Structure formats: structure tokens, C-alpha cells
Amino acid sequence: MRVLIINGPNLNLLGTREPEIYGTVSMEDYLDALRSEFTSLELEYYQSNIEGELINRLQTNDFDTLVINPGAYTHYSYAIADCLKNISKPKVEVHISNIYKREEFRQKSVTAAHTDAVLSGFGMNGYRLALLSLVSA
């Protein structure tokens, strides 16, 4: 099974960006751990700070399932929401922090309605939990 993991803006800074919120593990190191655990899955990772690049990658439609952390685009990108709406494959939205304990503007997700599930507040483990849910579906 080919799983596409997409991260939005500033998530390339994981491990150094606000470690009190996002932790100290880089995405690359965490992906290595995920690949070791989920050896039967082909995990592809994509990150961009540019909304259109994220949409272009999603529209290639060359994956079986999707794990997406839209980052700040979660709260206002109707373009990504529309793109997700047109993907009929299983998909899970992940947020490292609990968005409902953060600033008011971060508590709304315009993309969540177009995913099958949302994981928020599990730290980096949210990606692992998303993979577990997708492989057991």
C-alpha cells in the first residue's frame, strides 16, 4: 500500500520550531522510525510551504491512502479543502498539537470535513496512529 504523507507550511522545521509545542524530533527521523515499523507500507513524504504545490502533489493521485497535516492551511485553505473533497481514497488529517487548546483561529479546520478522521494533540505519534487506522480499515 502506497501512503502519501503531506505536511504544509513550516512543518519542515519540525525538531527545531517551537519544541515546547511540536517536540524535538525532526520529520526525517520520525519517518525513519515509521518506515522501520510499517515495513509493508510504501511511505512517501512531501512537504511544501506553497499551497499550490501541495494541491498539485495531491492531484497526482498516485497513492492509496493519505495522511495530511495542512499546517496553517488547515484554518483557511478552501483550495486544499476542495482538493481533498475530490479525493475518494482514505485520508486522515493530523495535527501535532491539540488545535482546540490553541488560539481561537486555530480551532477551526476547513479541511477536516473532507477527511475520514482527524487526530489532534498526539504529538508526532499522530502520524503513527493515522497509519494504524489506515492499514486496519
Name the residues annotated as catalytic: 22, 95
106 appears as a binding residue in the annotation: yes
Beta bridge partners of 92: 67, 117
82 appears as a binding residue in the annotation: yes
102 appears as a binding residue in the annotation: no
97 appears as a binding residue in the annotation: yes
29 appears as a binding residue in the annotation: no
116 appears as a binding residue in the annotation: no
Annotated binding site: 69, 75, 82, 96-97, 106
Annotated binding site for substrate: 69, 75, 82, 96-97, 106
